[in-house]
Amino acid sequence: MEKATENAKNPAPAAPVKLLGSWASSYTHRVQLALRLKGLEFEYKEEDLGSKSEELLRLNPVHKKVPVLVHGGRALPESVVILQYLDDAWPETRPLLPADAFDRALARFWCHFADDKLGPAVGAVFASTGEEQEAAVRQVHENLALLEAELRDGAFRGRRFFGGDEVGFLDVVLGCGSYWLAVFEEVTGARLVDADAFPLFHAWLRDFEALDDVRETIPAVDRLLEYARGVRHMLLGLAGAGGAANPADEAPVAAPPAAATDIAVDI
Ligand SMILES: N[C@@H](CCC(=O)N[C@@H](CS)C(=O)NCC(=O)O)C(=O)O
């Protein structure tokens, strides 16, 4: 990632931590929440994703995205990679991953599910209308049903949080993203998290959102709503009346407002 400079040594745990992020980015929220849960001090730098800083482009030349964690001068991108690093670098302060090897692997598996299946399905609801949106809503429901089954009879049975009595790695990954569900419901009119259909998932999300660290991390719903309305308007404008199958393919000619395309595909 960064070149071999005087900084290219393993940072001491006490070395300063800085986070480059964006206020509406759920990936940024994952890292902010993990840092808060672990009680780690950090400096936050807000990025304008419509006009990325030279620092961001230098520190994340591969994806040019936030979040990027800088620890002792060394830079690390990708939210899930960062979360794992936080646990590796500060193992004593509130581990986020479970202690058991199999449970750790399962948490990682469901993180992939969140990023590869659930997130894109929710993004497709946000970026479409009509029949296309109905199909995307069905996909969200199928994915939520899978999680509900795990909470009811599977790996997470009987737990308040995916991590157990307290939130852990998977809660952070799934939770920072799931708060968009209510925002997208409001903006699109689609019903995504029906408490009758997904009672355990619904209860989990309610408990997660009530935590002080989470409330400190997630922006006010009014702000998210305003942002999401603007992005949806722009996406549907770009995509034409029916909406795009994959908004990422509808690359705008002009630079979009901050993170406009990401919210739809990557919430
Ligand atoms: N897989 C990455 C996704 C990060 C991502 O998509 N970040 C968005 C903001 S939500 C971004 O920086 N987008 C700017 C761009 O694509 O130009 C992660 O988990 O960190």
Q: Select from 26, 202, 219 the least CA-distant residue to 123.
A: 26
Of 17-21, 113-117, 141-145, 258-262, the range with the lowest mean pLDDT is 258-262
Q: Is the peptide bond before 67 cis (omega within 30 degrees of 0)?
A: yes
Residue whose CB lies within 8 A of the most ligand 1 atoms, among 26, 45, 57, 66, for a mutation test: 66
- Provide the β-strand partners of residue 128: 243
Give the position, in ligand 1's atom list, of the atom nearest the Cα of 49. 14
Query: Measured between alpha carbons, how far is 230 from 261 in angstroms, rounded to an integer?
Result: 11
CB–CB of 59/20 below 8 Å? yes
Q: Which run of H or E residues covers position 46?
A: strand 43-46
79-90 pLDDT tens trace = 999 999 999 999
188-232 pLDDT tens trace = 999 999 999 999 999 999 999 999 999 999 999 999 999 999 999
Measure 6 CA to ligand 1 centroid, in angstroms. Answer: 28
Question: What's the pLDDT at 261?
Answer: 42
Q: Say how many C-beta atoms besides its own lie within 10 A of residue 134's C-beta.
A: 12
Q: Which SS3 state, helix, strand or coil, does residue 17 take?
A: strand
Confidence tier at 239 by pLDDT (50, 70, 90) = low
Measure 235 CA to ligand 1 centroid, in angstroms. Answer: 17
154-166 pLDDT tens trace = 999 999 999 999 9
Sign of the dihedral through C-alpha 143, 145, 149, 150: positive
User: Could you tell me if the CB of 29 is within 6 A of ligand 1?
Assistant: no
Q: Select from 228, 199, 203 the least CA-distant residue to 123.
A: 228
The chain-wide mean pLDDT, for the chain, equals: 88
